[in-house]
Copies of this chain bind each other. A is one copy, B any other.
Amino acid sequence: MKHPFTPGHEPLFLSPADVTGMVIRQGLPAMLRGMAAYIQEDFLRWNSFDKSARVASHSPGGVIELMPIADAGHYSFKYVNGHPANTAHGLPTVMAFGVLANVATGMPLLLSEMTLTTAIRTAATSAVAALALARPGSRVMALIGNGAQSEFQALAFHHLLGIDELRLFDTDAAATAKLMRNLQASPDAAGLRLRACTGSTQAMQGADIVTTVTADKARAAIVRAGMLGPGTHLNAVGGDCPGKTEIHPDVLAGAKVFVEYEPQSRVEGDVQQMPARFAVTELWQVLAGQAPGRDCAAQITVFDSVGFALEDFSALRYLHDQAMASGVGRRLPLMAQLDDPKDLYRLVRPNGLVPAQPLNHPSLKSGAHPTEMAPA
């Protein structure tokens, strides 16, 4: 009997091990550069996209979000959670996966891990914004919050901006120790001077750029008025949901503030603390030359980053292109394929053949064979 599935339309699947392998083979700096180029390219096509704020489902322990976006050719969405207590159970606070699909047919092209990918695309986006907004020749960066995302931010600014000195601070000294250990052992951080600081004030003093990646699910004021020298660029990554902020409103009031997608940032970003009339500029306008970035060398600029679906679209597009070119990944039988697409019932029509008894949940990592059809 011919099996009623016809192959050829299966999406590519990239596991965490697949993406990890891609990063290690390419090198993280090359991956950051590649993803930054795709993000820049897509931000320049801003008006080609059907955009919406993400859809969040809040619970006492955290949040699960879906982040869809589409242009005329491709549709993508990311599934991402945020559960601060996860680390106590050995799970990451933030986990994610994403799908890139063909708009013309609705068929997924790619299903990929995005836990690691999100950290890379966030750092790449920060670098794209800083290249447009920070003072040229910036060399010293304060990195406040030394958790899971901090190495990616450090290496993005080292390789894409030319930052050669990092001032580190975290309320958890173990986090700073981990970051220093990881960077000191990495050839990718060669030439990057590291200085652990005793407080955020010390870390920010004399910094050209200040990056905040703290994870408190609460109102915080990591950066207060007077802590930033004139001309500083503040890359504020951690304030990213209602009630979660890092920057004191006085800092925002005295700075020029840039956001990704205004309708989402007004709700989720640090600018949620400001009145609706407080002016913000969307980053794409600066990249496209439609709005000025910093107005003078002494101005404080803030990139109030919350993470926008377009960055995931770019990241998935990059992963798909790289995986197709290099042969990484496997095809996943996700969507039913039919000889006659109007005859769905044919899949389950009783016909004297019953599938063999299944194995007991083997992992796809173990290379298990799928259920086979066998005569009854």
Given A27-B350, A79-B99, 9 more pairs with CB closer than 8 A:
A5-B17, A16-B347, A24-B353, A50-B57, A57-B75, A81-B106, A92-B336, A111-B334, A175-B342
- Report the nearest B residue to A175, measured CB to CB: B342
Instruction: Name the one of B18, B52, B343, B361 contacting A331, with C-beta atoms under 8 angstroms.
Output: B361
Counting from the closest, the 8 A-B pairs by CB-CB distance are A81-B106, A21-B355, A151-B345, A16-B336, A331-B363, A115-B336, A148-B344, A367-B369
* Smallest CB gap from A56: residue in B: B68
Question: How many chain A residues touch the partner (CB < 8 A)?
Answer: 114
Whether B66 contacts A66 by the Cβ 8 Å rule is yes
**Distance between A120 CB and nearest chain B CB, rounded to angstroms:** 9
Residues of B within 8 A of A113 (CB): 334-336
Report if A37 contacts B (CB, 8 A): no
* A370/B333 in contact, CB under 8 A: no
A119 touches B344 (CB 8 A): yes
A148 in contact with B15 (CB, 8 Å):
no
Question: What is the CA–CA distance of A24 and B342 in the complex, to the nearest angstrom?
Answer: 19
**Looking across the interface, which residue of chain B has its beta carbon closest to that of A348?**
B23
Q: Which residues of B contact A89 (CB under 8 A)?
A: 105
Interface residues of A in 345-376 (CB under 8 A from B): 345-350, 353-355, 357-365, 367-371
B116, A348: Cβ atoms under 8 Å?
Answer: yes
Contacts known (A17-B371, A113-B335, A178-B343); A90 close to B364, Cβ less than 8 A: no
Pair B70/A68 contact, Cβ less than 8 Å: no
Among residues of B, the one whose C-beta sits closest to the C-beta of A23 is B348
Q: Which residues of B contact A63 (CB under 8 A)?
A: 106
Q: A15 and B370 in contact (CB under 8 A), knowing A7-B365, A344-B149?
A: yes
Say if the beta carbon of A186 comes within 8 Å of chain B. Answer: yes
Judged by a CB distance under 8 angstroms, whether A86 is at the interface is: yes
Q: Answer yes or no: A107 CB below 8 A from chain B CBs.
A: yes
A250-258, A261-269, A273-281, A321-329: which lies at the B interface? A321-329
Residues on the B chain within 8 Å of A16, using CB: 5, 333-337, 347
**Beta-carbon contact of B77 and A70 below 8 Å:** no
The listed residue (B28, B68, B187, B348) touching A66 by CB distance below 8 A is B68
Do residues A101 and B367 form an inter-chain contact, with CB atoms below 8 A?
no
Kindly state whether residue A97 has any CB partner on chain B within 8 Å.
yes
Q: Which residues of B contact A149 (CB under 8 A)?
A: 344
Binary per-residue interface labels of chain A (14-49) against chain B in the complex, 1 for a CB within 8 Å, 0 otherwise? 011110110111011000000000000000000000
